[in-house]
Each structure stands twice: as C-alpha cells, then as structure tokens.
Amino acid sequence: MPLANRATTTVKPTIHGAPCSIGKYYRDNLDDHAELAELNSLLYDEGKDAGQVWNELDANGITVARSTINKHRGGNCRCFTIDKDVCCPGCKRDFDHCVCGGKA
C-alpha cells in the first residue's frame, strides 16, 4: 500500500496472542455460567496463590499459563488492554459475574 493511502485506509492491526490463557478460558466457556463462577471463586475468593490455582486447574484438565494467573488477577494481561469485552476491569471477573458494577 502506498504511504499516501495510509491516511484514508483503515487497517485493523494484527493482535498477537490475545487474550491470555485465563481470558481464553473465560471466552471459551461464556455459556457455562457455573464453570465461570467456579473459576472466579478459585481466582479471587479462596485466597490461593498462583501455584495452588494452577495445580487445581491442571488437576481438572484446564491448561493455562502459570505466569498468567497473577497477571490476569491484577488486570495486567492482554484481556484488559485488547480483549475488553469479556472481563471487567474493576473486579477482573467475567461480566456475567461482575461484583463491582463495572458492567454498566
């Protein structure tokens, strides 16, 4: 594409790697509200560290990157910069289980 056409042509940038593996699991299970509620509880309510969360997910056959758990919990992963339509930026849970009112 000639540089002169860049100002008038809208090209959507390629997004590499979005969302994180936790966000991907949320996205893949949007219709399973009980599963997402259980994931939210495991991530945010049970007081488990990232290793304990990863061990429990792995024992249940759920593959996520161990390093992503705390990034997602803190809102520092791709889910909150690129993939904003699944996870609430306030409480970090999926929007159907938002507890802070950030869905509004």
Reported as a single tens digit per residue, the pLDDT across 33-74 is 899 889 989 999 999 999 999 999 999 999 999 999 999 888
Positive/negative CA dihedral, 42, 45, 46, 49: positive
Q: Of 24-28, 75-79, 82-86, give the range with the top mean pLDDT.
A: 24-28
Question: What pLDDT digit, counting tens, does each position of 25-34 carry?
Answer: 988 888 888 9
What pLDDT shows up at residue 101? 77
